[in-house]
Amino acid sequence: MILLLAALFCSAQVVNAQTAGSSVLDEPNRAAPDYVTRYAPLVWLHSEDPFRPADLLEHIRHTAPAVDNKPIHGLPELGLDNLAILNDIDGEVALTAIDNITTLPAWLFGEAPDDTGRTRNATSCVVILVEKGSVDIDVFYFYFYSYDRGPNLTQVVEPLNLLLKDDGDGMHFGNHVGDWEHNMIRFHHGKPVGIFYSQHRDGAEYNWNDTSLSMNGQRPIVFSAYGSHANYATSGNHIHDDVLVDYCDDGLTWDPILSAYFFHLEPRSFKLTQMSPPRAAAPPTSNLTSFFYFNGRWGDIQYPDDDPRQRTVPTFGIKRYVSGPTGPATKELLRTGLSSEPSHRGWLQWAVAVFMSLYPCCIRGWRVWVFGTLLSGLLMSMVFVVRYGIRRYRRRGYKKVETEIAMDDLAWREDRTSDSIENEMR
């Protein structure tokens, strides 16, 4: 009996060892697992958003590399298989639009999906599998757009909407060429356990069984915001950065995985390997991985203030055109939790956040007078306490003498002392 148990234990150890050493790349056809597409997100594009998913290669062909807005010459034709050669150039390389983007050339609008949800002439999705162990895999679904239209600054929450007036030119600020968004789904034994939605600087994470998620069968729905393409779990209006508004609705349905590139990322070496879609009969024949390692910008660098296309919002310093984003390799693919690390906030953003947190309860309407009175009383009390403390501190060095000294006694001692001195002089 003991021998039988020992044999079973050894057998289990061998199976576990084999499982721990296995990888999704071990499949002969190098195909992604079925669950990668079975639970893949479906994207609902905003019904009025003109900027649709864009083809990666088409975007590259309509841009030219530049450093500090100065073009780089003597380069070969660039594509997904050689884009990383730009990393050898000194300075921050930006894929700069060949056309004047203020005229909104056609390629910025991307391609609308058809009735099946497929973008027929555009591959706009990059799926990356990151194995975190023998049973845990993070799957990133990246979505690419050639243009991000920033928010209309007249459409902000109260009371900042009273500070900004439409100048008749759209008031869209924070625009940039190129836009990478993503979802990440964490799988345990091939079952989804959580999902992350990218939103501007940060994002939102949910457990898979969270009732606030919108689902289409087994697939989560992603609502892509108008212009910014930030990803949300529900439709409607969403406030971001404390005052700006994103608008989502159930517009066009886009199924990104119908036209996607699939890859596997080895965490230790950060080596990317191209894969085939699930159930593919043969491994991929191409090796389109160079674009992943490009560490520059996927759009124009922020225009200088003297550029006629650039404008700046007074006080807040918000620019009409900002720099394009970096690529998927910089999106914290080796994260521990579902979310990426929150980005750093400047002092102005902190000030706005504090103001907006106080506004509903303390600064709105008649509340401002009550809050002002209480704040004034608090400040006066603090001044009184500080002054009282200073006085007490200054008196600590003095001590009251309780005994009285007779003045005539002092005079007698003084006279006697004088006589003694005269005698000594004689």
Q: Give per-residue pLDDT as tens, 229-255.
A: 999 999 999 986 656 889 999 999 999
pLDDT of residue 306: 94
- Give 322-336 as a DSSP string: -PPPP-GGGS-TT-S
pLDDT digits (tens, 9 = 90+) for 117-145: 999 999 999 999 999 988 999 999 999 99
Q: Please give the model's pTM, rounded to 2 decimal places.
A: 0.78
pLDDT of residue 373: 75
Asked whether residue 153 carries a pLDDT value surpassing 80, the answer given is: no
Residue 54 identity: A
> Of 148, 103, 204, 70, whose CA–CA distance to 323 is shortest?
148
pLDDT of residue 394: 73
> Of 331, 273, 326, 265, whose CA–CA distance to 301 is shortest?
326
What whole-number distance in Å separates Cα of residue 22 and Cα of residue 19? 5
Across the range 283-288, mean pLDDT stands at 89
Across the chain, mean pLDDT equals: 83
pLDDT of residue 3: 41
Pairing of the two strands 63-67 and 93-97? antiparallel
What whole-number distance in Å separates Cα of residue 142 and Cα of residue 222? 12
Asked whether residue 91 carries a pLDDT value surpassing 90, the answer given is: yes
- ∠80-83-84 over CA atoms, to 5°? 125
Asked whether residue 338 carries a pLDDT value surpassing 50, the answer given is: yes
What whole-number distance in Å separates Cα of residue 294 and Cα of residue 306? 29
Question: Which residue would you say has higher pLDDT here, 170 or 119?
Answer: 119
pLDDT of residue 205: 96
pLDDT digits (tens, 9 = 90+) for 1-25: 444 444 444 444 433 333 345 788 8
pLDDT of residue 25: 87
Indicate the pLDDT class of residue 421, thresholds 50, 70 and 90.
very low
pLDDT of residue 351: 54
